[in-house]
Amino acid sequence: MRAFVIREIGRTEVMEKPVPTPGPEEAIVKTTAALICTSDVHTVKGALPVPNDRTLGHESVGVIHSLGSAVTGFTEGQRVAVNAVTPCYRCSYCQRGFTSQCGGPLGGYMCTVQMDGNMAEYFAVPAAQANLTPIPDALIDAQAVYTCRRSRCLNWRPAGLVQTSRMSAPSATTWCTRSSAAPSSHVRRGR
């Protein structure tokens, strides 16, 4: 598969990599739309330490290609958005509502920093049960991808985890259904 990588500080290119295989709690998603984030630009400039040839990106939508054995509630071929921050939702940081600090400072920012990102034909989603969000049929991928940037997808927490004052519950109103507005106005933030 093709992947957009940082070859070294200041240098990027598209290179061939193998299609990842999912671990028990992961999903492999075929990318259909992705955004470049400022943190990707900072990473290429050397602000965040990553190994050479790391795939960039952490804001995308796509179609589930394969699922790990422990992932339920999703099906192969289903359209999904993936959170820009992909925490475990189990550690003490996550349980206290600090999901971007999952396991320690910036720990929830896994794609690119701790593992290959999603600017590739296929990418792995850690803790997939918590970090995949189905895309409503009314939205096209170019609209849905903006939710990954503006509201961390649906700003939801997985069922069964402790609700804290810093975590917002799922909201069906997070997805905007007006198709005539500009993409940036398609996102309505949850509480």
- pLDDT tens for each residue of 13-67: 999 999 999 999 999 999 999 888 888 888 889 888 889 999 988 888 999 999 9
137/157 Cα distance (integer angstroms):
22
Neighbouring CB atoms inside 10 A of 42's CB total 11
**Cβ proximity of 68 and 27 under 8 Å:** yes
Domains of the chain with bracketed CATH: 2-186 (3.90.180.10)
- pLDDT tens for each residue of 119-172: 999 999 999 998 899 999 999 998 888 876 544 444 333 333 333 333 333 332
Supply the pLDDT for residue 7.
95
Burial of 105 (0-12, 13-18, 19+ CB in 10 A): exposed
